[in-house]
Amino acid sequence: MRELSVQEITEAVSKMCISANCQASEDLVRATEQTNADEQSPAAKDALLTIRENQRVAAAEQIAMCQDTGLAVIFLEIGQEVHLTGGDLEEAIHAGVRKGYADGYLRKSVVADPLRRKNTGDNTPAIIHTRMVPGDKVVITVAPKGGGSENMSTVKMFPPSAGREGIIRFVVDWVKQAGANPCPPTVVGVGIGGTFEKVAYLAKRALLRPIGQPHTDAYYAEMEQEILAKINALGIGAQGFGGTITSFAVHIEVHPCHIASLPLAVNLNCHVSRHETVRI
């Protein structure tokens, strides 16, 4: 059994809140540059050049890539051979978010109550997803989620008869309806299966995959490419200026489900597509 102080988790979360907001990931940089090379629309190419320049300036100056620095979504994979010491795990994560958003001068975007709307002032509480896994390590992913892209999310409970084609039509139509609201080019996270609550988690988790990395199952990898081609034929383009590329990638995650159900969720990431992972 390995002992790990939750203070180490606090420090890691604090640093990642800053770096995820200020430093474009390697996969995002590659996707932005490749999209600019492939784009045919002059207006969209100008938008992509501005996006890439924004990435460079944010990294150099350690300032946020977007004024909406998001609600902190934290994914934890805790090895079952780890003994956490020194305090409450969730409080340690909230402390890390609090410190990171203060030290990084990041916008605080959390309200304590969904209807009375008073800002908590420190971007807590975070949303925390925890899984127990084999081993003696803790893997932490920080994924700040902005309101514009998160608002363009949906869950649909299909009958099984909708099938593959019904899902493809719905996802493409949903991205069409979203238009420029999620600040494209987007990454489209698609969850299929599970239950009402599980499918939304699948769609959110799909956004953590390196941009463009295909599903390990060839059936779903092909489906990702088909959906992406149909989305990019919509002509929405970067920042809604029109063009040949509306989304960087489509990522699908699936889970077994009830014989009478076919749950579907769509969760979009904007062009900053923020997430960072560390292993402790």
Residue 239 has a pLDDT of 97
The residue with tokens 């907001």 is: 21
Helices (H) and strands (E) in the chain, counts: 8, 10
What residue segments make up the domains of the chain, in order of their start? 2-20+65-145, 148-273
Q: Which pLDDT value is given to residue 140?
A: 98
Predicted model pTM: 0.96
**Exposure b/e, 121-157, CB count within 10 A at least 16 = b:** ebbbbbeeeeeeeeeeebbbbbbbbbebbbebbbebe
Compute the average pLDDT of residues 244-266. Answer: 98
Q: Which residue in 25, 73, 17, 115 sits closest to 200, CA to CA?
A: 73
**For the chain, what is the HEC assignment?**
CEEEEHHHHHHHHHHHHHHHHHCCCHHHHHHHHHHHHHCCCHHHHHHHHHHHHHHHHHHHHCCCCCCCCCEEEEEEEEECCEEEECCCHHHHHHHHHHHHHHHCCCCCCCECCCCCCCECCCCCCCEEEEEEECCCCEEEEEEEECHHHHCCCEEEEECHHHHHHHHHHHHHHHHHHHCCCCCCCEEEEEEEEECHHHHHHHHHHHCCCCCCCCCCCHHHHHHHHHHHHHHHCCCCCHHHCCCCCCEEEEEEEEEEECCCCEEEEEEEECCCCCCEEEEC
Name the residue type at position 44.
A
Query: What average pLDDT score do residues 158-165 get?
Result: 98
Cβ atoms of 69 and 102 closer than 8 Å:
no
**Share above pLDDT 70 across residues of the chain, in percent, rounded to a whole number:** 100
First-last CA distance in the chain: 14
CB 211 within 8 A of CB 30: yes
Grade residue 132 by pLDDT with cuts at 50, 70 and 90.
Answer: very high
Name the pLDDT band for 47 (thresholds 50, 70, 90): very high
Confidence of residue 265 (pLDDT cuts 50, 70, 90): very high
Residue percentage of the chain with pLDDT more than 90? 100
